[in-house]
Amino acid sequence: MLFTSYEFFGFTAALVLLYYLLPKRCQWPLLLGASCLFYMAAGPRYILYILFTALTTWFAGVRMGRNAQNAAAFLKEHKEELSKEEKKRYKEGRKRVRRRWLVGCLVLNMGILAVVKYANFFITNLNSLLTAGGGRGLSFLNLALPLGISFYTFQAVGYLVDVYRGTVKAEENPFKFTLFVSFFPQLIQGPISRFGELGETLYGPHDFDRKQVCFGLQRMLWGYFKKLVVADRILAAVMTIIGDVETYQGAYAAVGMLFYTIQLYADFTGGIDVTIGLAQTLGISVRENFNRPYFSKSLKEYWRRWHISMCSWFRDYLFYPLSTSKAMQKFTKFTRKHLGDKVGRRLPVYVSSFVVWFSTGLWHGASWNFIVWGLLNYVVLMVSEELEPLYAGFHRRFSVEGKFWYRLFQVGRTFVLICVLNIFDCYASLGETVKAIGSVFTVHNWKVLWDGSLLALGLTGLDYGILAGGCLMMLGVSLVQRGGSVREKISAKPYWVKFAVWYGLFLAVLLMGAYGVGYDASQFIYNRF
């Protein structure tokens, strides 16, 4: 059920109506039922995947939670009888039991993700080696990718680790926990929520709040504008360029990088706007996932602003545990002894970062394109980290830090870098991607930018005009957001101004949205993850 389909509009309208008409004790069970129906719309049998993840994670979490409670009660009851050493051994024994539950559940559910999403990728690469040596290739697995498996698996894993660490209390109700894992607005493209955040508003009773409902609908409308007017319209040109790498090289490839970067932003942030807006209409708070990422002055800053929930997940549940593990501490000690203190201190960070960025690339897709994309981000970030003293010296020498023109240069430089990195998300193979990027420097056909050739990419002059207007609107909203909520600012205006803004935006979506056959919009990009 696409977020942009008539079925989804009818589904959510009926849900919101029932949500506020039924008794408040029925609100979260209604959301659970609606989430299951939403998931089954993509294929009834696939709900078994998410239910299995939810129930196994719930059970492991309960076992760990009770283990910790019983241990605390035992120690409290026998605190006078046990020596310090006995208490320590008891705690370590109880912790080992919790660790076994944690590892077992992680292996089980991450194993399902690995098999479903990456088995055929592994077989493809293995077959390349086997057939090159004259052997016979393996057969591929006929497994469909369940909807949102990367998102709900990571969300469940984050909860399980938090329970193990003791930062959240295990949820005893299996139905409530299943709702946390399957909450449908965020199921297909995030954000990846934390139980301690989402659980605060997901299960509680909610009165109808006219302002919050209106704000939620307005957020959804803005998301649909970005998706339908900008992302889906520019999609035609992107598909034309990446569909024929032999014809569309040089300047065309550069245009493709720019257009796809615009499309990705409008599509992904538009989908998140719909998610957060729909949750807000139900009185539920979902964490923000973007913070004006294209205003970043460095790639490091960009990754603090883009897909915030994913980046924080990898930081908290992979980078920190890996970089502070006992094995890494031994590695640090070894490298400092044999390679010197300076290298020894940095090398473990580089190793941990390498694992994180390799995993991030693989998380985005079972393709060498994504793996190389992740590793290129890693290389740029690590090189930038090493060159930081040179940057600081340059800033002191020429006093450019903080000046408007230099900040503009930094933003432009970072945006170009992002455009180049994003192109790895587009082409069918790594070879085509490298060829397209290389052609920008070797094929000199820049006249196509002004001789009318861009009109042959599937867009008319009117389309380009609408796109320009849509991009300017997104830029303007981002600039205004620096001073606070745009919706709050608009709500403070006279009624006729509010009506003109929101009704005008509604008409823009209705009249200027790019719709396909049967008035169906395209799928959101991140649905495939």
Cis peptide before 389 (omega within 30 of 0): no
Nearest to 422 by CA among 288, 270, 302: 302
Distance CA 111, CA 130 (A): 24
Q: What is the DSSP letter of 316?
A: I
DSSP string, 369-431: HHHHHHHHHHHHHHHHHHTHHHHHHHHHHHT-TT-HHHHHHHHHHHHHHHHHHHGGGTSSSHH
139 CB burial (10 A radius; 0-12, 13-18, 19+): exposed
Structure tokens at 238: 């992107």
**Is 78 designated active site?**
no
Q: Report the C-alpha gap between 112 and 402 in whole angstroms.
A: 49
> CA dist 428 to 70, 407, 431, Å?
54, 35, 9
Per-residue b/e over 400-415, b at no fewer than 16 CB within 10 Å? eeeeeeeeeebbeebb
- With CA atoms as reference, report the closest residue to 345 among 356, 334, 358, 357: 334
- Whole-number Å distance between alpha carbons of 141 and 15: 38
**The tokens 């706007």 sit on which residue?**
273
Q: Would you give the DSSP letter of residue 519?
A: G
Alpha-carbon distance of 168 to 53, in angstroms, equals 19
- Give me 498's structure tokens: 């509010």
Q: What is the DSSP letter of 4?
A: T
Residue of 78, 206, 338, 364 marked catalytic: 364
What is the distance between the alpha carbons of residues 376 and 263, in angstroms, rounded to a whole number? 21
CA distances (Å), origin 186, targets 207, 366, 506: 22, 22, 23
Q: Sign of dihedral through CA atoms 59, 60, 63, 65?
A: negative
Please give the Cα distance from 425 to 364 (Å, whole number).
9
Which sequence positions are flagged as catalytic? 364
